[in-house]
Amino acid sequence: MCLQMLEPRVTPTLPRAVARGRARDRKEALRALTLGAARRRGSAGKSEPTVPRRPGLSAVMEEVEAEEPQEFSHRQPLRTLVSPQRLKAAVHYTVGCLCQEVTLDKQVNFSKQTIAAISEVTFRQCENFAKDLEMFARHAKRSTVTTEDVKLLARRNNSLLKYITEKNEEIAQLNLKRKAKKKRKPEDESRSSRESMAEELDGAEELQSES
Amino acid sequence: MAHLWCSHGIPRPLDSPSHLHLTNYHQPFSSQAIPDAPICRHHLELVSRLLHLHFRDCKTKVSGDALQLMAEFLRIFVLEAAVRGVWQAQAEDLDVVEVDQLEKVLPQLLLDF
């Protein structure tokens, strides 16, 4: 089986950033996704160059300075389209960061072709995952993909399924805590003290019901 | 029998039949050893864009929890690919993971996911 090597369209600056692991560069690289799309929307007449001369971080930083960052909400349908090449580059960067962590943990290096191959495989598998998720949601007569669909996607390996269900519970609990925090913040202190008293009462009631 | 092979340090011939090294079956998911990273906002955006790129229907949305779970799923996918590649390289007594090692672990990885 021979993998088609996709030569990553990233300049040497990206691997250096991977080695240094600067979060700032990652943020800029990903922000470029939204900004590049916004810029393209603004200048619809111009054609995008197929191969930019230096698609490195300097180009990304120019875009960052030129425009303001967009608000991102994952609940709304995305109206801006981003080219697959930019997404592949972003995936490649993220895969590089993850492989860097593995290298630090196991003291085994990854060749550049391996990282490119993993990111290519991830990108292609993403297509299958997305189509499956959409089909699962449509089968359940929904238009929103939920965690049940993701759990169904993870059914092939038992330990994977177990891990994903555990993660799901963790995420649900985290979100509940966050919601509880948000509700408490704007309220008065007296209200929050009343709530804590109510919780104590509930706790007392539970103890009474148990005994 | 595969367990016995794995516990030996003897390097296997590279042109052996494409059996996969069954190092993973007796262990839970390998990438759980890597410490958990907090889910980054930029990763969520990337995952969202990746999914929406391949949705046929534009009206399909992804809930927030499902997005976080998919981000974790893809993270595990990449980590599994990397760690299994490392195991393969260690089994062959190499200190660099090349594409050859990745090719050997890829079929089982795709079947598991």
Q: Please indicate if any CB of chain A lies within 8 Å of the CB of B53.
A: yes
CB–CB of B107/B17 below 8 Å? Answer: no
Entry pTM = 0.63
What tokens were used for A108?
A: 């085994």
Determine which of A145, A149, A167, A168 to mutate to test the interface with B (most B C-beta atoms within 10 Å): A145
Q: What single string gives the DSSP state of each residue in A170-182?
A: HHHHHHHHHHHHH
Neighbours of B94 (CB within 10 A): 16
Determine the average pLDDT of the residues in B5-27.
42
Cα B61 to the center of its chain, rounded Å: 26
A111 vs B106: CB contact, 8 Å cut-off? no
Residues B60, B65, B71, B77: is their CA dihedral positive or negative?
Answer: negative
More confident site: B28 or A145: A145
DSSP letter, residue B62 = E
B81–A118: do the CB atoms touch at under 8 Å? Answer: yes
Q: What is the pLDDT of residue A122?
A: 96
- Strand A144-145 and strand B61-62: the pairing is parallel
| Interchain contact, A1 vs B33, CB within 8 Å | no
Question: Between chains, do B51 and A133 touch, taking CB under 8 Å as contact?
Answer: yes
DSSP code of residue A187: S
Q: Using CA atoms, how far apart are residues A89 and B102, in angstroms rounded to an integer?
A: 20
Q: Per residue in A116-135, is it b (16+ CB within 10 Å) or e — as a string?
A: bbbbbbbbebbeebbebbbe
Q: What is the pLDDT of residue A15?
A: 47
* Interface A-B: count of C-beta contacts within 8 A: 200
Shortest Cα distance, chain A CAs vs residue B20, angstroms: 13
Is A164 within 8 Å of B77 when comparing Cβ atoms? no
pLDDT band at B7 (very low <50, low <70, confident <90, very high): very low
Check CB contact of B91 with chain A, cutoff 8 Å: no
**B42 contacts chain A (CB < 8 A):** yes
What is the average per-residue pLDDT within B58-81? 95
State how far the Cα of B67 lies from the Cα of B39, in Å rounded to an integer: 10
Q: Residue A185's pLDDT is what? A: 80
> Could you tell me which residues come within 8 angstroms of residue A60 by beta carbon, excluding any fewer than 6 positions away?
A28, A29, A31, A32
Chain B residue with the nearest C-alpha to that of A4: B99
Task: Render each residue's pLDDT in chain A as its tens digit; 211 residues.
Answer: 454 555 444 444 444 444 444 555 555 555 555 555 555 555 444 444 444 444 454 444 444 444 444 444 455 555 566 789 999 999 999 999 999 999 999 999 999 999 999 999 999 999 999 999 999 999 999 999 999 999 999 999 999 999 999 999 999 999 999 999 998 887 655 565 566 665 555 555 555 555 5
CA-nearest residue to A28 within chain B is B42
Distance from CA of B7 to the nearest CA of A (A): 18
Q: Which residue has the tokens 């109510």?
A: A198
Residue A208's pLDDT is: 56
Nearest 5°: phi and psi at A20? Answer: -85, -20
Q: What is the mean pLDDT of residues B57-79?
A: 94
Inter-chain CB proximity B85 and A110 less than 8 Å: yes
